[in-house]
A = this chain, B = another copy of it.
Amino acid sequence: MISERTRNSLWKKGVTICLGLIVIIGFTSVSGAAPLSIEKQGSFAVGGTVVEATEPYDPRHPTPQSQTLHGDHANVNYQIPVDAKKPPLVFLHGAGQSMRTWQSTPDGRDGYQNIFLGKGYPVYLVDQPRRGDAGRSTVKGEIPATPDEQFWFGQFRLGIWPDFYADTQFAQGEENLDQFFRQMTPNTGPFDAGLVADSLKALFGRIGDGVLVTHSQGCGPGWLAGMGSGNIKAIAAYEPGSGFVFPEGEVPEPIDNASPFSPLKASSVPKQEFMELTRKPIVIFYGDNIPSDRVAEPHKDYWRSAREMAGKFVDAVNRHGGDACIINLPDRGLTGNTHFPFSDRNNEAVAEIFEQWLKQKGLD
């Protein structure tokens, strides 16, 4: 185990690197109400595998052995604005979510989909393999339908049920919370980060160069995809929890925390693959109500440990020559953000910070 002092030091180092990179931003108002001019929009499946038949098919006696199953693909909805001159943004949701994450907010405002279309970016929304409209899995699944929303209310840092954090940016109200809970949709087969990454690599192979934007559980597959696709020119990760990767021999000790998900572990990947992450700018965003030091409250302490691991990750990328940073939204004057900053009440300001970073990296 590394010491608390070392952890804090590594964590602060990541933040410091980041502070050096980002200038203060004047937030411009984005109405989101102007009509969108869409040059092209559509949907397609990408990636995936096929369960092949092992026997000849007889239409009079169809058997599973004589038939195929195409599954484990991602489903993609895309929109390309008229005169788009910016790189496409590919959005991957987190655990228990789908592309709904990026669409309308729980209180019915524009989400990142519309906000970034309005800014002129082509937008690709992904339902990852075995989720949402990409529900066709090659492996069987069970969906227990277990009531668990009060837990997620806490884990997603809206507050501690039934109380919202006093400064929350979540649009409170029964109807908004109802919509928020109904964004959830289950795995239709086992979660497989490698499959998700493969579908992302196939997607970028199809559309060419662009920026990958991930959330929470989706950030893990995002790092894997980033290591395997030269078309992924940058990665923006919102609130990664687990799933961080490190070069062989450099994996930090698991980080204990007060949550059921303790300890928070990181994974080892071949250094040669990890080095690909040093060849593209990376930004990691975290919202508010994440303490710097260990606390007893399980949810907050989970995110304390996640952000701590993120600091180590950023440090690993940068010490190998990369360009990674963490942006803590409270450090940019945005307080009260939940685990879903891109759909919180201040999501246009949150989007501005992201776009400013894109501009700094020449990705606009």
Residues of A within 8 A of B (CB): 35-39, 41-45, 48, 51, 53, 57, 59-60, 62, 64-71, 73, 75, 77, 82, 98-100, 103-104, 108, 110, 114, 127, 131-151, 154, 160-162, 178-179, 181-186, 188-189, 297-299
**Cβ–Cβ contact B145 & A142, under 8 A:** no
**Cβ–Cβ contact B103 & A42, under 8 A:** yes
Task: Please name all residues of chain B whose beta carbon is closer than 8 Å to the beta carbon of A139 when the two chains form the complex.
Answer: 145
Task: Please name all residues of chain B whose beta carbon is closer than 8 Å to the beta carbon of A48 when the two chains form the complex.
Answer: 182
**Cβ–Cβ contact B183 & A42, under 8 A:** no
Task: Please name all residues of chain B whose beta carbon is closer than 8 Å to the beta carbon of A297 when the two chains form the complex.
Answer: 59
**Cβ–Cβ contact A62 & B141, under 8 A:** no
The 8 Å CB contact of A51, one of B100, B137, B147, is B147
A135 to chain B, nearest CB (A): 4
**Cβ–Cβ contact A137 & B145, under 8 A:** yes
The 8 Å CB contact of A136, one of B68, B150, B182, is B182
Give Cα A284 to B139, complex, Å. Answer: 37
Give Cα A88 to B111, complex, Å. Answer: 23
Task: Please name all residues of chain B whose beta carbon is closer than 8 Å to the beta carbon of A67 when the two chains form the complex.
Answer: 147-151
**Cβ–Cβ contact A69 & B114, under 8 A:** no
Give Cα A110 to B40, complex, Å. Answer: 10
A59 to chain B, nearest CB (A): 5
Quick one: given A48-B182, A139-B145, are A110 and B154 in contact (CB under 8 Å)? no
The 8 Å CB contact of A98, one of B57, B133, B151, is B133
**Cβ–Cβ contact B104 & A42, under 8 A:** yes
**Cβ–Cβ contact B103 & A77, under 8 A:** yes
**Cβ–Cβ contact A161 & B45, under 8 A:** no
Task: Please name all residues of chain B whose beta carbon is closer than 8 Å to the beta carbon of A75 when the two chains form the complex.
Answer: 100, 182
**Cβ–Cβ contact B137 & A143, under 8 A:** yes
Chain copies in the assembled complex: 2
Quick one: given A71-B145, A133-B127, A140-B145, are A114 and B42 in contact (CB under 8 Å)? yes
The 8 Å CB contact of A68, one of B38, B39, B69, B149, is B149
Give Cα A59 to B154, complex, Å. Answer: 8
A98 to chain B, nearest CB (A): 4
A120 to chain B, nearest CB (A): 14
With a 10 A CB-CB cut-off, give which of A82, A103, A132, A297 has the most chain B CB atoms: A132
Quick one: given A138-B145, A145-B189, are A66 and B150 in contact (CB under 8 Å)? yes
**Cβ–Cβ contact A70 & B150, under 8 A:** no
A62 to chain B, nearest CB (A): 5
Give Cα A136 to B189, complex, Å. Answer: 14
**Cβ–Cβ contact B186 & A135, under 8 A:** yes
Residue of B whose beta carbon sits closest to that of A74: B182
* Known contacts A64-B146, A64-B148, A136-B181; 8 further A-B pairs (Cβ under 8 A): A35-B38, A41-B114, A67-B149, A67-B150, A67-B151, A70-B182, A73-B182, A132-B133
Give Cα A108 to B206, complex, Å. Answer: 13
Residue of B whose beta carbon sits closest to that of A183: B45
Give Cα A137 to B82, complex, Å. Answer: 39
Quick one: given A36-B38, A145-B71, A186-B135, are A57 and B140 in contact (CB under 8 Å)? no
**Cβ–Cβ contact A45 & B182, under 8 A:** yes
Give Cα A179 to B48, complex, Å. Answer: 11
Give Cα A134 to B297, complex, Å. Answer: 32
